[in-house]
Chain A
Amino acid sequence: MSIDTTSTRAIVSSSTSADRMPNVGRPATAQRKWLGKNPIANVSGAIFALFWLIPVYWMVNSAFQSESEVMSWPPHLYPHEFTWDNFVAAFTQANFWGALQASMIAAVLTVAFASTGALLAAFALSRFRFRGRTAMIIAILVVQMIPAEALFISQYRMLDGWNLLNSVVGLSILYIGTIVPFIAWMMRGFVDGVPIELEEAAMVDGCSRIGAFCRVTLPLLAPGIISTSVFGFLFAWNEYTLALIVLSKDSSVTLPIWLQSFQQGMKATDWGAVMAGATLISIPVIIIFMIVQKKISSGMVAGAVKG
């Protein structure tokens, strides 16, 4: 047994040294060290990255070109005369601020309610052993999979009956119910990550179960709460299908619907202005997402895909 481990360790260490100093000492294996750097992988990786970025680059590029320059043939690969006019147009021509407000309200309502409900549910699933627990976990997974497309007819009828069509509140009700299972699932991963011994220690010291959770676990959960909230925020910010069903075009709409009607409202589409609108919507999301992506995807992997 001990021989086994030492030999593996020897292999590992020798291969790392070979990594650092290629072609020294061990020419045969140094040629194909699997985890080593590979020029072909680097070059093709760079090419693929550029290729994948083209749409994003083209969005920003067109957003800074004047109307005549955007339509030029051949297209300009970078703005020859840099202009902010498109952004001014996006801000002023259509009801951008109203849409921004509607999106903010929907996102804030969604995050507030869904995160609270999910936190309590995650606490129950992670800290209690009760009959029906497995059934609840399966229910969470199944509900997550219900496609919006399979229910929107009925949701439309329901909101119509409650006089909540064309209202951001009505839309938020649907958002909250749609996202709460997923957020609860993510949150459960985070709660599981806080050792229960900490709570037990606090309970031994006289805290009630709820008190122990609030005083000990909750502060430690801050990163989890932040990333699940961001996830809920992005969902509400980006969602299109339900917004299309619930909000008609003349009432206050959310940003994705705004972008679409902004594009359709122009007779011959002014692509520069539309790209400015798309850029305005995307940039905050991209920045937020880049900050929290690690947490979100590790939460997703911890929750959904235990590899």
Chain B
Amino acid sequence: MTKTITRPTRAAERTSRRRPLSRQARQRRSRLAPWMLLAPAAIMVLVALGYPLLRQTIMSFQHFGLAQQFGQPAEWAGLSNYFSILSDPYFWSVFVKSVLFCLWTAGVTMIIGVGFAVLMLRMSSAVRTVFNTTLIVVWAMPALASLTVWQWLVDPRSGLLNWLLTSVGLDSFKHFNWLGENFWTFYLIASAIIIWASIPLVAITVYAALAQVPTEVLEASELDGASNFQQIRRIMLPMIGPVISLIGVLQVIWDLRVFTQIHVLQQAGGIASETNLLGTYVYETGIAKGDYGTASALAMVILGLTLVLTGRYIRMLYRQGGMA
């Protein structure tokens, strides 16, 4: 008993001997400590993202083209970059396509993903293990590897997809060029790849949430005569509603800025000008054509769009109390 009392005092003596700081200094130190700890991460972010963001904001108000790349000072353009974008019908066609593509892809992903999660609840544990492992394998596939495989699957001459379609009697699909035919088939393939690859995350996360719904509630509802469908519709989905809407917003944010899949498929022989979405349009304007001013303004538009959606996401996190 005496030991426990004396030990802290001795410890306190020892610390005070080692650090003879005045009380004020120590307070200042402990107030600074969290910021010192945050500093390295903050510097990393500021170098890689903060500084480019600042430069981009400036550049979006400048005429910044190839001449400026070789050292000529950039001319101020005011808002003219933004005006020229917003008055360009091509931008609006890209914008509308991006939004529709995003809604379609994110919507189908969520519907199938939640469906898979509900299905997983009802599987026997052996089948569920197989199913879960499959999803994880798909989840882990590097984007570029899966894109090359899908290009091979939809290859016009000897791809598996055309073979399957012709062997069930659809002869018009022999040598059908999915990526080059028109932008509908191009988008169909692109969204299929994205949906295929993003469903594992949705299904596994939603399943984890569903599995936490207390059994008692379900049993009680069963006693009250609720059907399976009513249990899903009225109990389980509302209870995990916050999780579903969070993942839904994340999917929308991710699909709105899709770049990799579209760019790679364009490179593989897809039609580029008709299939541009916001991400590839910025790339084309900036990196390929060297019009950095306009590209920066475009990028700022994408950023603004994303931040609006992110605001929703943050508010959802807040409402869930996940911030504390």
Instruction: Note all chain A residues with C-beta closer than 8 A to B10.
Output: 206
B270 CB–A CB distance under 8 Å: no
Is the CB–CB distance between A41 and B302 below 8 Å?
A: no
B146 CB–A CB distance under 8 Å: yes
A29 to chain B, nearest CB (A): 7
Instruction: Note all chain B residues with C-beta closer than 8 A to A71.
Output: 157-158
Q: Within the assembled complex, what's the spacing in Å between the Cα atoms of A49 and B130?
A: 8
Known A-B contacts A147-B257, A180-B45, A256-B143; the reply to A52 vs B158 at CB < 8 A is: no
Instruction: Note all chain B residues with C-beta closer than 8 A to A120.
Output: 37-38, 40-41
Instruction: Note all chain B residues with C-beta closer than 8 A to A73.
Output: 158, 163
Known A-B contacts A278-B148, A285-B141, A301-B208; the reply to A151 vs B49 at CB < 8 A is: yes
Instruction: Note all chain A residues with C-beta closer than 8 A to B247.
Output: 305
- Chain B contact residues: over half helix, strand or loop, or mixed? helix
Is the CB–CB distance between A124 and B123 below 8 Å?
A: no
Is the CB–CB distance between B142 and A282 below 8 Å?
A: yes
Instruction: Note all chain B residues with C-beta closer than 8 A to A184.
Output: 41
A155 to chain B, nearest CB (A): 5
Which among A34, A136, A158, A306 has the greatest number of chain B C-beta atoms within 10 A?
Answer: A34
Which residue numbers of B lie inside 8 Å of A, CB to CB?
7-8, 10-11, 14-15, 31, 33-35, 37-38, 40-49, 51-53, 55-56, 59, 69, 116, 119-124, 127-128, 130-131, 133-146, 148-153, 155, 157-158, 160, 163, 167, 196, 199, 204-205, 208-209, 212, 215-216, 218-220, 222-223, 227-228, 231, 240, 242-243, 246-247, 253, 257, 259-260, 263-264, 267-268, 278-279, 282-283, 286-287, 292, 295-296, 299-300, 302-303, 306-307, 309-310, 313-314, 317, 320-323
Q: Within the assembled complex, what's the spacing in Å between the Cα atoms of A244 and B307?
A: 25
Known A-B contacts A120-B41, A238-B144; the reply to A244 vs B263 at CB < 8 A is: yes
A92 to chain B, nearest CB (A): 19
Is the CB–CB distance between B134 and A52 below 8 Å?
A: yes
Tell which of A52, A141, A153, A307 touches B242, judged by Cβ atoms closer than 8 Å.
Answer: A307
Is the CB–CB distance between B302 and A304 below 8 Å?
A: no
Instruction: Note all chain A residues with C-beta closer than 8 A to B163.
Output: 73-75
How many chain A residues touch the partner (CB < 8 A)?
118
A121 CB–B CB distance under 8 Å: yes
A264 CB–B CB distance under 8 Å: yes
A288 to chain B, nearest CB (A): 8
Is the CB–CB distance between B218 and A180 below 8 Å?
A: no
Is the CB–CB distance between A153 and B48 below 8 Å?
A: no
Residue of B nearest to A46 (CB): B127
Which among B130, B149, B222, B282 has the greatest number of chain A C-beta atoms within 10 A?
Answer: B149
Which 7 interchain pairs have the tightest Cβ spacing? Answer: A177-B48, A289-B140, A154-B56, A206-B11, A124-B37, A41-B122, A147-B257
Query: Can you list 25 pairs linking A and B with CB atoms under 8 Å apart?
Result: A32-B222, A34-B228, A41-B127, A45-B127, A49-B130, A55-B150, A58-B153, A73-B163, A141-B310, A141-B317, A145-B306, A152-B282, A153-B282, A158-B51, A178-B49, A181-B45, A184-B41, A241-B259, A256-B143, A260-B264, A278-B149, A282-B142, A297-B208, A305-B205, A307-B208
